Amino acid sequence: MNTLNNYWLRRVLSSLLVIAVVLSLNFFLFRLMPGDPTGSLLDPRFSPEAKQELLKSYGLDKPLSQQFFMYVKQMLTFRFGISFMSQRPVWQELAERLPNTLLLLFPALLLSAVLGTLLGVAAAKGRGRLTEKAVLLSGAISFSFPSFFVQLVLLLLLAHAFPIFPLRGSLSVPPPTGFWNLLVDRAWHMALPIASLVLLGFGSWALYVRNLMVKVLGEDFILLARAKGLRENEVLWGHAFRTALPPIVTIFFLSLPGVISGAVITETVFSLHGIGKFLLDSVLGHDYPAAGAAFYLMSLVTVICNLLADVVYTFVDPRISFRRLR
Amino acid sequence: MMRISSLSATYPNGFNAVKKADLKLSSGEILALVGESGSGKSTLIYASLGLLPKGSSVSGKVFFDDIEFFALPKEGQRKIRWKKVSLVLQGTMSSFTPVLTIKRQFLEAMEEHLSLTPGEAMAKAVELLEEVGLEGNFLARYPHEMSGGQKQRCAIAMALCCDPDYLLADEPTTALDVITQAEIMNLLKGIAKRRNMGILMVTHDLALASSTADEICVMYQGCTIETERSDIIIKSPKQPHTIALVRSLSMMEE
Amino acid sequence: MSFWRLDTLFLAFLSLLALLTPLLGPVNEAVAPPFCKPLWLDHESGKPLSLNAKDNSLSFTWESKPPKTFSVKGTVTFEGVPKSAALLLAGPSKTYKLVDLAGYRNFDVDIDSRDVPLKLFLGLSPFVDVSNVIFSERGAYSLFIASDVKAHLDLNLNIYTGKWGIFGTDQRGRDVFRLTLAGIRISLLVGIFATLIASTLGMGLGLFAGYLGGLADSSIMRGVDVLLAIPTLPILVVISGVWGRGLWQIVFVLSIFSWMGTARVVRSLTLSLREAPYVEGLRALGAPTGYILARHFIPEAMPLLLAQMALGVPGAILAEAGLSFLGLSDPLMPSWGRMLHEAQVFGAFTSGAWWLIFPPGLGIASICLAFISVGRRFEEMADPRLREMAER
């Protein structure tokens, strides 16, 4: 019984439960849909025998419970089947697109976090001045402006009115040759999407960090650090920020899932060749193997990020030890 | 001698906590600043170090030997802190940054004010810990890995690390058990004599003050109303508030 | 603290507009050519004109660039059957015969300048822009009937200049201003209802979990953890794609995925209340649970709950807007997100029609900002510490 109280065991079990729920949702949602799931596959001119053959090859002739177990087994081993729309293996489609999505999300998240943190610390330091008002304002904007609106405006300004950046796509068509040309082309296409995400994201970071820092700066050990005659920068960064770091790091990992969620919209606005857009297109095109696999993948990444957040926290906060957590 | 002359302090919200306070602390002696909650005693010591929150206004003069503290520029004030006069907070307060080791918090102060090699600084830190009755290996610990009493001793050791002439202690033994209280008080007495340091101790406990301090200064509603040798003030208090305090003392003893 | 500040006034005003939406009439009908610019934007083109000719003739002046299109619709009635009659449009120097009316007692006129038969009738090539030709000069114009029998007109002349209304028109020629106003209702409905349902659900489950404890508590909290771990927008996309695109579907789906925050807050409040010494005292005095709930818990929890709700509405509005933007909403529903979807998909960029993008986007932003502002004030009421920080 003692082992069940183990914190990590509970967390892992919880994560597995989430995956189980996701898989069940995937399975039942797509089968509960009105209409024949293979309607887009089958040519109505197929003979009944040919139809049966096809259904058999997809395993759709077996009882529901058996189909469910087959499905779970396939998902856990990453055998995602063939996409209805493109007739290619789903994992191939996903593998093609995953790097693009990551290339969008990681730089955006990193930049927002860094910029937002710097602004938040600055606002906490110089309270009552313009920076603080700027932080509060950008935070409010972060929470109320729809991402696609900001992105459309950016496109209008910087891709239409002043055509500096491309209107759509992850790469130019045809893509340029040579490593550096390719890199520059990539960067040029990613510039607006990443910039829009940073613009939308840094506000909430700044607000959060500022509130955190204000709280920490009011603590007694900060008073003592000043009394020790340490330089103000040392007090601010070496003591206050360092104390605020564990929750900031946690929030970083916990905000990854939200950013992944938002990728659906960003990739749609900028027509990027990524997983978010793939999910949307598959859903709209009733391509169940593809949609299910994409959703499963995104949920998997979310669960991993949540776990990572807990793990990393134990390394950043000396008060919480990895092994001693109960 | 540390001298506070006509010090007034007002918090940003307008509350005038200290009104023209006067104080004299001699080297080698313990002065207890006694008063009820809200009398302004903690504010007094933070104000004299320039540590009140931004937006507070402080007037008056504070002298550490011949140095007039408020006449110094900000950078000058910073250099004097810890080296000339250091601080020990209440037991309930966190003196130590929770995410840093004790060693780091000792060494950074010494690095800032003294020019020692890392080896010398370490050795000194270990010495100080032993002086307050702790083992050297406490340096490797984090603040949450110590008991209240241990933390307080550590805080005192850290306060001594740059060999200051004066130590300001804000209710150093409140919230500690009686035995630890006595130990800490003896420690402070020993330190004052050995190092010829002046210790200004804030407390609301008149009994404690009378048994440990050489002089007692009574504060009431922001003013320093009476200052006298501790034995004299208990026997013949002059001000009405002091009289009331002494009376409540004897009532408890009965 | 005055209740009627900018944010509450703004929201009250919007609610009023939302209620008056039916007065707008049908918003999904085309009123003008597609992609018309707002009136105040283009100063060269003339204003659109809509005139009604009764009885005999209609005179007007045209002092700007030739319009994009024009149309004449209505009826002509003769007192008797004319042997020769025609509908004429006369300009400063030339007169054009639009249609021959001889031999008709009544005639339904339906002329649009883009009609090819008209162009042929006027002796022009099918690729020529009729309005360019007819309105090539600036000056006095008149629309009239020339016939040997007296005629009565009931005609509407509409001249379209590529400008229309306060916010122009979209790709179908719909008035963007009216669409924007109609969108208020959708956003408010979805936001408020989704949040109400989610809050009720969250309150109920949170109370249950906190009060009953044990298995109920841990299973509800497990459910919260699981739902929180599912990526929000993807699941919304999947469910909307599978289930359907109606307004209430979206409301329901949104509620299912937003009750968790409230549940957690209510649960911790319930737990702290259960252990609170004054509650123990009340129980010792024999107070029934209902009494404790009604007289102590609810007033204590109210500001916090109101804050949760007010801060939850922007989330619901943004989620609905997001889903509509992705194309997952009813095309006939005048949602702001849908407007942005159509702007992107139907080429607002190729035509530079920025007036399609700003009204809905700013609409969403301003409603959300207002709710957040109100929610922050509720938060300050609930937690005095925050009030202090705000006042400093």
What is the ipTM for the molecules in this complex?
A: 0.90
The reply to whether B69 and B181 lie within a common domain is yes
- What percentage of chain A reaches a pLDDT higher than 70? 87
What is the per-residue pLDDT for C1? Answer: 44
Task: Choose among B54, B105, C385, B52: nearest CA to A242.
Answer: B105
Of residues A162 and C3, more confidently modeled: A162
For C351, name the nearest residue in chain A, comparing CA atoms only: A160
Q: How confident is the model at residue A324 (pLDDT cuts 50, 70, 90)?
A: low
Q: What is the distance in angstroms between the Cα of A183 and the nearest Cα belonging to chain C?
A: 27
Find out whether C315 and A142 touch, Cβ atoms under 8 Å: no
The reply to whether B184 and B246 lie within a common domain is yes
Find out whether C355 and C168 touch, Cβ atoms under 8 Å: yes
Q: Which of A99-113, A176-190, A202-216, B114-128 has the lowest mean pLDDT?
A: A176-190
Single residue among B137, B163, B189 that ends a domain in this structure? B163
Contact B109 A230 (CB under 8 A): yes
Q: Which residues of C touch A295 (CB under 8 A)?
A: 234-235, 238
Q: Which residues of C touch A214 (CB under 8 A)?
A: 389
**Per-residue pLDDT tens digits for C292-302:** 777 777 777 78
Q: Is the pLDDT of residue A321 over 70?
A: no
Average of pLDDT values for A243-252?
91
What is the per-residue pLDDT for C392? Answer: 41
A window 66-125, beta carbon within 8 A of C: none
For C353, name the nearest residue in chain A, comparing CA atoms only: A156
Task: Choose among B189, B219, B187, B190: nearest CA to B203.
Answer: B219
B51 touches chain A (CB under 8 A): yes
The reply to whether B1 and B68 lie within a common domain is yes
The reply to whether B74 and B109 lie within a common domain is no
Q: For C241, which of A14, A265, A283 is closest by C-beta distance?
A: A283
Q: How far apart are CA C255 and CA C324, in angstroms?
A: 16
Q: Which residues of C touch A156 (CB under 8 A)?
A: 349, 352, 354, 357
Q: What is the distance in angstroms between the Cα of A33 and the nearest Cα belonging to chain B?
A: 54
For B142, name the nearest residue in chain A, comparing CA atoms only: A318
What is the per-residue pLDDT for C193? Answer: 94
Q: How far apart are CA A289 and CA A291, in angstroms?
A: 6
Q: How many CB atoms lie within 10 A of CB A88?
A: 12
Q: Which residues of B touch A224 (CB under 8 A)?
A: 87, 89, 95-96
Query: Which site among C228, C326, C357, C367 would you substitute to test the A interface, given the most A Cβ atoms closer than 10 Å to its Cβ?
Result: C326
Q: Which residues of A touch B152 (CB under 8 A)?
A: none
Contact B82 A227 (CB under 8 A): yes
**Could you write out the three-class secondary structure of B126-167?**
HHHHHHCCCCHHHHHCCHHHCCHHHHHHHHHHHHCCCCCCEE
Token pair for residue C276? 């609170």
Which residues, including other chains, have CB under 8 Å from residue A137's CB and lie 6 or more apart? A203
**Per-residue pLDDT tens digits for C331-387:** 888 899 999 999 888 877 767 788 889 999 999 999 999 998 888 888 877 776 555
Q: Is the pLDDT of residue A5 over 70?
A: no
Contact A226 B51 (CB under 8 A): yes
The reply to whether B78 and B171 lie within a common domain is yes
Task: Choose among A186, A200, A203, A205: nearest CA to A266.
Answer: A200
B window 134-193, beta carbon within 8 A of A: 142, 144
The reply to whether B154 and B237 lie within a common domain is no
The reply to whether B111 and B192 lie within a common domain is no
Q: What one-character DSSP code corresponds to residue C261?
A: H
Q: Which residues of B touch A231 (CB under 8 A)?
A: 78, 112
Q: What is the mean pLDDT of chain C?
A: 84
Q: Which residues of A touch B142 (CB under 8 A)?
A: 318-319
Contact B108 A234 (CB under 8 A): yes
Strand C85-90 versus strand C49-55 pairing type: unpaired
Q: Is the pLDDT of residue C52 over 60?
A: yes
What is the per-residue pLDDT for A61? Answer: 66
Contact B100 A239 (CB under 8 A): yes
Q: Is the pLDDT of residue A323 over 60?
A: no
C230 touches chain A (CB under 8 A): yes
For A235, name the nearest residue in chain B, comparing CA atoms only: B97
Q: Which range of residues forms the domain containing residue B109?
A: 91-163
Greatest mean pLDDT among C58-62, C179-183, C304-308: C179-183
The reply to whether B144 and B234 lie within a common domain is no
Q: Which residues of A touch B51 (CB under 8 A)?
A: 223, 226-227
What subunits make at least 3 CB pairs under 8 angstroms with C? A
**Per-residue pLDDT tens digits for C74-110:** 888 888 888 888 888 888 888 888 888 888 888 888 8
Q: How far apart are CA C9 and CA A157, in angstroms?
A: 33
Element (DSSP H or E) covering residue C281: helix C277-284
Q: What is the dihedral of CA C168, C174, C180, C185, to 10 degrees?
A: 170
Segments in chain B below pLDDT 70:
251-254
Q: What is the mean pLDDT of chain A?
A: 83
Q: How far apart are CA A261 and CA A276, in angstroms?
A: 8
Contact A127 B95 (CB under 8 A): no
Phi and psi (nearest 5°) for B73? -70, 165
Contact C229 A303 (CB under 8 A): yes
C18 touches chain A (CB under 8 A): no
Which residues, including other chains, have CB under 8 Å from residue A294's CB and lie 6 or more apart? A94, A275, A278, A279, A282, C234
Q: What is the distance in angstroms between the Cα of A248 and the nearest Cα belonging to chain B?
A: 14
Q: For A144, which of C229, C358, C372 is closest by C-beta distance?
A: C372
A21 touches chain C (CB under 8 A): yes
Find out whether C249 and C243 touch, Cβ atoms under 8 Å: yes
What is the per-residue pLDDT for C8? Answer: 85
Contact A214 C389 (CB under 8 A): yes
Domain count along chain B: 2
What is the per-residue pLDDT for C199? Answer: 93
Q: What is the distance in angstroms between the Cα of A14 and the nearest Cα belonging to chain C?
A: 7
Q: How many CB atoms lie within 10 A of CB A290?
A: 26
The reply to whether B118 and B60 lie within a common domain is no
**Per-residue pLDDT tens digits for C193-220:** 999 999 999 988 988 888 888 888 888 9
Single residue among B163, B195, B211 that ends a domain in this structure? B163
For B82, name the nearest residue in chain A, comparing CA atoms only: A228
Q: Which residues of C touch A284 (CB under 8 A)?
A: 241, 327-328
B46 touches chain A (CB under 8 A): yes
DSSP-H helix ranges across B49-101? 74-80
Q: What is the distance in angstroms between the Cα of B43 and the nearest Cα belonging to chain A?
A: 13
The reply to whether B80 and B170 lie within a common domain is yes
C386 touches chain A (CB under 8 A): no
Q: How confident is the model at residue A127 (pLDDT cuts 50, 70, 90)?
A: low
Q: How far apart are CA C305 and CA C292, in angstroms?
A: 18
What subunits make at least 3 CB pairs under 8 angstroms with A? B, C
The reply to whether B9 and B35 lie within a common domain is yes
Q: What is the distance in angstroms between the Cα of A220 and the nearest Cα belonging to chain B?
A: 6
Find out whether C229 and A15 touch, Cβ atoms under 8 Å: yes
Contact A318 B98 (CB under 8 A): yes
Q: Which of A40-49, A98-107, B239-248 has the lowest mean pLDDT?
A: A40-49
Task: State the CATH number of the domain containing residue B26.
Answer: 3.40.50.300
Average of pLDDT values for A232-244?
93
A214 touches chain C (CB under 8 A): yes
Contact A243 B98 (CB under 8 A): yes
Rounded to the nearest 5 percent, the helix, strand and coil shares of chain A are 75, 0, 25
Task: Choose among A249, A234, A323: nearest CA to B97.
Answer: A234
The reply to whether B36 and B73 lie within a common domain is yes
Q: pTM here?
A: 0.83
Average of pLDDT values for C143-169?
84
A299 touches chain C (CB under 8 A): yes
Find out whether B10 and B17 touch, Cβ atoms under 8 Å: yes
For B95, name the nearest residue in chain A, comparing CA atoms only: A221
Token pair for residue A189? 């296409």
Single residue among B109, B129, B163 that ends a domain in this structure? B163
Q: Which residues of B touch A319 (CB under 8 A)?
A: 98-99, 142, 144
